[in-house]
Amino acid sequence: MSANKASQAKAASEPGRGRAQGLRTRHPGDLSPEETVARVLRVDHAGEYGARRIYEGQMAVLGRGAAAGSIARMYDEELRHLDHFEKLMVARRVRPTALQPFWHVAGFALGAATALLGERAAMACTVAVEEVIDEHYGGQLEILGEDEAELKATLEEFRADEREHRATGLKHGAEAAPAYEVLRATIKSGSRLAIWLSERI
């Protein structure tokens, strides 16, 4: 078994991991450290942009609902994450993904559509997306070297925020949303695909 196959098998054997971690399952020789960082920043910026648009879609529908305060707080944190990645991309001369227009439309649509199903469905969307982001950041933390300690510390910090967002979603009744498991699985698959594409395009 090649080293690549072995690492793929290892990733696949860890529950809930592997599929969204195209970076982690690549052969170590495929990308230079600079290319790896560029890819990390590009996809993370795209993801935080998508998160901003999801919460904007939710707020457009649920702006006066019971969870409006919680949504607004999570939104503020996404803006902080996004701003940080924007600055890093400029500093390190990394171009944004060509899929930015997709994230703009799809993020808002996902947020608004789930919010139209109700507050708990919006929270189910938050839980699903944040679970994918959590595993995504976890995969990046494993592939980045010690020479990227500052970036890794940022990812650790943001990852903790995303886990908080997931907990907020659960606190607001995500699991009681209609067809919760189908909704969650569907959104997770779509988010993983969007991440995979944004790492590459």
For residue 81, state whether it binds Fe ion (rule: CB under 5 A).
yes
Diameter of the chain measured on Cα atoms: 56
Across 32-44, b (16+ Cβ under 10 Å) vs e yields eeeebbbbbbbbb
Binding string to Fe ion for residues 15 to 54, with x set by CB under 5 A, is what?
---------------------------------x--x---
CA–chain centroid gap for 51, Å, is 7
Measured from the CB atom, the residue of 22 and 50 that comes closer to Fe ion is 50
Measured from the CB atom, the residue of 51 and 115 that comes closer to Fe ion is 51
Measured from the CB atom, the residue of 165 and 184 that comes closer to Fe ion is 165
> Which residue from 119, 134, 135, 162 is in contact with Fe ion, where contact means CB under 5 A?
162
User: For residue 88, what are the contacts with CB-CB under 8 A and spacing of at least 6?
Assistant: 41, 94, 151
CA–chain centroid gap for 112, Å, is 18
Measured from the CB atom, the residue of 152 and 165 that comes closer to Fe ion is 165
CA distances from 54 to 7, 45, 61, 63, 100 (A): 33, 14, 11, 13, 14
> Which residue from 38, 50, 57, 78 is in contact with Fe ion, where contact means CB under 5 A?
78
For residue 165, state whether it binds Fe ion (rule: CB under 5 A).
yes
Binding site for Fe ion (CB under 5 A): 48, 51, 78, 81, 162, 165
